[in-house]
Structure 1
């Protein structure tokens, strides 16, 4: 994002739940193609994360991360900027006031989810949003941001590809992160959730086959490859 934002701005700029879920699946599929090594991937998506729940996640390898839980209730977004002034670790081991205080009952289990807390049960969060299945907008808590901080909750760097949802934005990101050329037409196809074929894969990573990606396609819930005519 060119300008600095907070969770307030993010709430206005995120797409609806269905579009966000599709985007997250596309990002995870692209990373799976570009990075066969799961540990090196930036984006992931688990369509069977828990009973009735799917989870999209991002880890940048430097301590910043987000998780998005999709369920029948809607969607819950947790972001953590490890250098944020609003980190629990600079606030006496407690989440910054207002960040999670108003999360409704439908999403409280996400706040307390062990995967999103540290070994002491403290929620690892600097930014939080939620959207119920019948809501027409994203919600966040009432927050007094630290004074004089340009990026108080870490939102500016965490959610760039969820705000700039163009294939060109992913191409720029991936060419920088993976340090290799990335075919824009292929990115557009995956953003459109086009079923994969070998030609599409090879345009992104000539060393990956459909068989290599079978587990990832299933885990992500990406549309399966079209069957070859008999």
Structure 2
């Protein structure tokens, strides 16, 4: 499944932002080692932007930058034949074609590039004026990695995170606690310990502030 199919599945920008924030909080609760967390969310990416980030530790990643103009996303599957590292440090034809000017700063952000070349096999965006997500006219994109990179934000259900996390962290989890976080309801001690008996709400204050998750 390529970016063209994935953007048809993605919910609106507000829902993608909400789910992204929830994913970061859930990983914050479940994983005490910030170096190995899968999902992060930076509510202070810039004065006007927030960013959802995924790093799986194996070289794959994505970024979704949220701004008053909408959202801009990159994804990178390091094994994809569309990788710039497999194409003389060039982005795949059509990948960045049509990116609106309001997203050029995110497109060119050094945080997402190596020597000026974006680490990207996937790119899509949605402005506040758009009625759907958009991408460039990328051909032969079936191996861009979009389907698995963005699976949880495209799915949007707490059950999807439950399946992912129980496999990734090898623990049984409380679905109701995950639903609580997906709804962006303020964390309680009960919710935190339901997810991770070793964590306490007081341990999470700095992380919660960085993510911009609602406080009680």
Check whether TM > 0.5: yes
Q: Determine if contact 2:9/2:155 at 8 Å carries over to the other structure.
A: no
Partner of 2:138: 143
Larger radius of gyration: 1
1:177 to 168, 179, 188: 168
1:220 to 208, 211, 214: 211
Partner of 1:128: 123
Q: TM-score, normalised by structure 1?
A: 0.92
Q: Which stretches in structure 2 are left out of the alignment for 5+ residues?
A: none
Question: How far has the Cα of 1:176 moved from its partner?
Answer: 0.7
Partner of 1:85: 81
Aligned length: 216
Partner of 2:191: 200
Q: Which stretches in structure 1 are left out of the alignment for 5+ residues?
A: none
1:15 to 5, 11, 16: 11
Poorly superposed stretches of 4+, deviation over 6 Å: none
2:41 to 42, 45, 50: 45
Partner of 1:155: 146
Distance 1:178 1:196 in 2: 21
Question: How far has the Cα of 1:73 moved from its partner?
Answer: 0.9
Distance 1:78 1:46 in 2: 16
Question: How far has the Cα of 1:13 moved from its partner?
Answer: 0.7
Distance 1:41 1:201 in 2: 17
1:76 to 72, 75, 78: 72
Question: How far has the Cα of 1:217 moved from its partner?
Answer: 0.9
RMSD: 1.0
Cα deviation code 1:8-67 (max 9, x no counterpart): 011111111111100100000000000021111100000001120100011111111100
Question: How far has the Cα of 1:104 moved from its partner?
Answer: 1.2
Question: How far has the Cα of 1:161 moved from its partner?
Answer: 0.5
Distance 1:181 1:79 in 2: 29
Cα deviation code 1:62-99 (max 9, x no counterpart): 11110000001100010000001110111111000000
